[in-house]
Amino acid sequence: MNQVENAIPPLTQLTEDEQMLRDAAADFAKSSIGPLVSEMDEQAKLNPGLIKEFFEMGLMGIDIPEKYSGGGGTFMMSVVAIEQISRVDASAGVFMDVQNTLVNNAFVNYASDFLKEKYLPQLATEKVGAYCLSEAGSGSDAFALKCSAKEEDDHFVLNGAKLWITNANEADIFLVFANVNPELGYKGITAFVVERDFEGFSVSNKEDKMGIRASSTCEILLEDCKVPKENILGEYGKGYKVAIETLNEGRIGIGAQMVGIAQGAFDAAVDYIKQRKQFGKAISEFQGIQFQLARMATDIETARLLVYNAARMKMAGQPFLKEAAMAKFYSSEVAERVASMAIDMFGGNGYVKEYPVEKFYRDAKIGKIYEGTTNMQLSTIAKLLLR
């Protein structure tokens, strides 16, 4: 047996299609997103023209089947695209991340044929989606929902509020989790597809955030909101299953976002230390700087391997919960650590907005919080190890 021919390919080896999308996303990020980053961060708003470009590039429906006007791509293609977009701007990265790994995945895996035919073409070509699970009293305890759904004639009436909803300002299609029978606890949770113009639905307060500022994070209000019965996504009372499975996949997307942030901060640091001179030479020539750079590069590659491994396992239909939790936990640690070290390399310049690394640092912090905090990831990993 030829050991070379039968060797396992490296996790970072991508297919031709994956490489093409990665490169296209990188070019798009550099040419279209890059010039707008500072302005969008200051205004705390994505550029409307940029949103249109995301759809034109096919980045909002990467693994939606072609029969629904999607790209017919793979989960790994979404992962590499999210990484490249986040390398330039994490707000733009999470914008497409939520669409692909949460909203689109939920429709593809759980929606009825009617809902797929109605909504997937819209999500692939023109309309932004949002995922509405969290509430004031249900963060890490995701199933302590107070949002209720009462059945009436040919529709349900939803009441409650959702907090920290990404893409809320831009979205037209919302995946809302509500409880149809609170006495059953999490077994009463059901997923509903809600359109922005449904009676009783509104987008309320927008959060003023430390990082990923151009990504909208808002409160959602449901006040006797009428939702047709056919707009249940998945099974009645099985919304918890939709939530768990989509969040497991979503954590891999967040991992890709964090790898992108780390790589972006690293790239900026490398460019800077080659140009910055002290004591008559570039600071890149000092061994202390070189050692830090080596640690940063090793951390990033380790995080990338964890993320890609989890994505490949998901695509292969293998259990990936532990691997997704590890990828999300570690990549968020790496993003914050690498961005912090990049600021150190910039010195005083790293602390001002004229240079890019302070933004990478602000953007990195959210990785330890959303789609499952670091402590929740560690708890999941430990439980699976001890099982």
CATH value at residue 371: 1.20.140.10
3-state secondary structure of 38: helix
In a domain, 156, yes or no: yes
| Residue 143: exposure state from Cβ atoms within 10 A (0-12, 13-18, ≥19) | middle
The pLDDT score that the predictor gives to residue 382 is 98
Residues 54-80, mean pLDDT to the nearest whole number: 98
Tell me which residue range forms the domain holding 360. 241-386
83 assigned to active site: no
Cα–Cα distances (Å) from 59 to 24, 189, 297, 352, 370, in that order, read 10, 31, 28, 32, 22
Mean residue pLDDT across the chain: 96
- 1 pLDDT band, cuts 50/70/90, is very low
Residues 137, 152: Cα–Cα separation, whole Å: 27
| Domain end position, chosen among 237, 257, 274 | 237
Q: What is the CATH number of the domain that holds 186?
A: 2.40.110.10
Residues 100-112, mean pLDDT to the nearest whole number: 98
Residues 101-121, mean pLDDT to the nearest whole number: 98
| Domain end position, chosen among 195, 222, 237 | 237
Same domain, 305 and 202: no
Same domain, 109 and 166: no
Check the CA dihedral 328-331-333-335 and report its sign.
Answer: negative
In a domain, 340, yes or no: yes
Same domain, 26 and 151: no
Residues 49-76, mean pLDDT to the nearest whole number: 98
- 8 pLDDT band, cuts 50/70/90, is low
Selection from 106, 238, 124, 109 nearest residue 175 by Cα: 106
In a domain, 246, yes or no: yes
Selection from 268, 341, 349, 258 nearest residue 300 by Cα: 258
In a domain, 6, yes or no: no
Same domain, 142 and 185: yes
Same domain, 200 and 258: no
| Domain end position, chosen among 92, 112, 128 | 128
Same domain, 154 and 191: yes
In a domain, 293, yes or no: yes
Question: Per-residue pLDDT for 381 more than 70?
Answer: yes
Residue with tokens 């449901």: 222
Q: What is the CATH number of the domain that holds 58?
A: 1.10.540.10
In a domain, 4, yes or no: no
Residues 260-281, mean pLDDT to the nearest whole number: 98
Residues 257-266, mean pLDDT to the nearest whole number: 98
100-104, 183-187, 221-225: segment of lowest average pLDDT: 183-187
In a domain, 87, yes or no: yes
Residues 376, 23: Cα–Cα separation, whole Å: 34
In a domain, 29, yes or no: yes
Same domain, 107 and 145: no
The pLDDT score that the predictor gives to residue 38 is 97
Same domain, 359 and 290: yes
Question: Per-residue pLDDT for 2 more than 70?
Answer: no
Q: What is the domain count for the chain?
A: 3
Residues 315-326, mean pLDDT to the nearest whole number: 97
3-state secondary structure of 352: coil
Which run of H or E residues covers position 224? Answer: strand 217-228
